[in-house]
């Protein structure tokens, strides 16, 4: 079975044959596939790279025929552009993303590139391992900031990515503050915020932050992130 996006706001459940992996690919039985905000956007308004029909889903965990579990890195880079050859494959000019350019994880089975398979440790549950892709994005942004213990970081955006970034910052010993104006998002994150003791406010007069991250698609937040920095502050977006 597979879930197919056949048009805007149109999903269909269809029968599907088990894929036959090409050379360099491996067959996975999908255990879990998370619904990303981008999947919701594709359903509601499409995507610049989306061609119907398409099986969505790019945050997934599956097992191969030997029973080993893998998370799947959803991007396939060209390997030859200036970004790929400088170790920045995530910026590849010809990147193809699972669930956009080719069928994704909203299916029983998936054929995935072997080089994209990330083994899941036994201690990590499959549904938690679905967060590997957004956690990877968060780590990529934070690595550029070189955060130190007790440094203050302001994060604009209290969605899933903003919360993940804040949690990692807390684990690193930094002091995160989330700015989120959407009351619904704040309510959804209430339990998470109380368990982690991470501060989330709609606005703040605080400034002189050591670092800032813009985790929302808002140009005002982008500008405020810079304004809130102290001298020698670092900004990632």
Are 214 and 143 found together in one domain?
yes
The predicted model gives 75-99 an average pLDDT of: 93
Angle at 188 between CA 186 and CA 190, to 5 degrees: 65
Are 30 and 61 found together in one domain?
yes
- Residue 103: CATH number of its domain: 3.90.180.10
Are 60 and 148 found together in one domain?
no
Q: How many residues does the chain have?
A: 237
CB 27 within 8 A of CB 65: yes
- Residue 220: CATH number of its domain: 3.40.50.720
Q: Buried b / exposed e across 167-199, counting CB within 10 Å, b at 16+?
A: bbbeeeebbbbbbbeeeebbeebeeebeeeebe
Q: What is the pTM of this model?
A: 0.88
Are 145 and 217 found together in one domain?
yes
pLDDT the model gives residue 37: 87
pLDDT in tens, 172-217: 999 999 999 999 999 999 999 999 999 999 999 999 999 999 999 8
User: What is the Cα–Cα distance from 63 to 102, expressed in whole angstroms?
Assistant: 20
pLDDT the model gives residue 217: 87
Are 59 and 147 found together in one domain?
no
User: What is the Cα–Cα distance from 225 to 14, expressed in whole angstroms?
Assistant: 45
Are 123 and 143 found together in one domain?
no
User: What is the Cα–Cα distance from 99 to 50, expressed in whole angstroms?
Assistant: 9
Domain boundary (83, 110, 130) is at 130
Q: How many structural domains comprise the chain?
A: 2
Domain boundary (115, 130, 145) is at 130
Domain boundary (63, 98, 130) is at 130
Are 122 and 142 found together in one domain?
no
Are 56 and 155 found together in one domain?
no
pLDDT the model gives residue 159: 92
In terms of residue numbers, what domain contains 101? 2-130
């Amino acid at each position: 079975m597979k879930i197919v996006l056949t048009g805007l706001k149109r999903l269909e459940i269809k029968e599907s044959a088990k894929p036959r992996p090409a050379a360099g690919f491996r067959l996975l039985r999908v255990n879990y596939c998370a619904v990303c905000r981008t999947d919701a956007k594709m359903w509601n308004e499409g995507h610049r790279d989306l061609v119907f029909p398409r099986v969505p889903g790019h945050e997934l965990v599956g097992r191969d025929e030997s029973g080993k579990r893998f998370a799947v890195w959803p991007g396939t880079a060209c390997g030859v552009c200036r970004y790929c050859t400088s170790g920045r494959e995530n910026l590849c000019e010809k990147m193809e993303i699972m669930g956009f350019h080719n069928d994704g994880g909203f299916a029983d089975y998936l054929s995935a590139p072997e080089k994209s398979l990330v083994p899941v440790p036994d201690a990590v549950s499959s549904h938690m391992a679905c967060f590997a892709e957004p956690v990877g994005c968060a780590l990529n942004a934070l690595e550029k900031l070189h955060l130190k213990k007790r440094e203050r970081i302001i994060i604009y955006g209290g969605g899933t990515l903003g919360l993940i970034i804040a949690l990692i910052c807390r684990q690193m010993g930094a002091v995160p503050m989330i700015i989120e104006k959407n009351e619904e998002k704040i309510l959804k994150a209430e339990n998470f915020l109380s368990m982690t003791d991470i501060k989330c406010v709609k606005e703040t007069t605080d400034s002189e932050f050591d670092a800032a991250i813009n985790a929302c698609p808002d140009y005002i937040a982008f500008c405020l992130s810079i304004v809130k920095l102290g001298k020698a502050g670092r900004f990632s977006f």
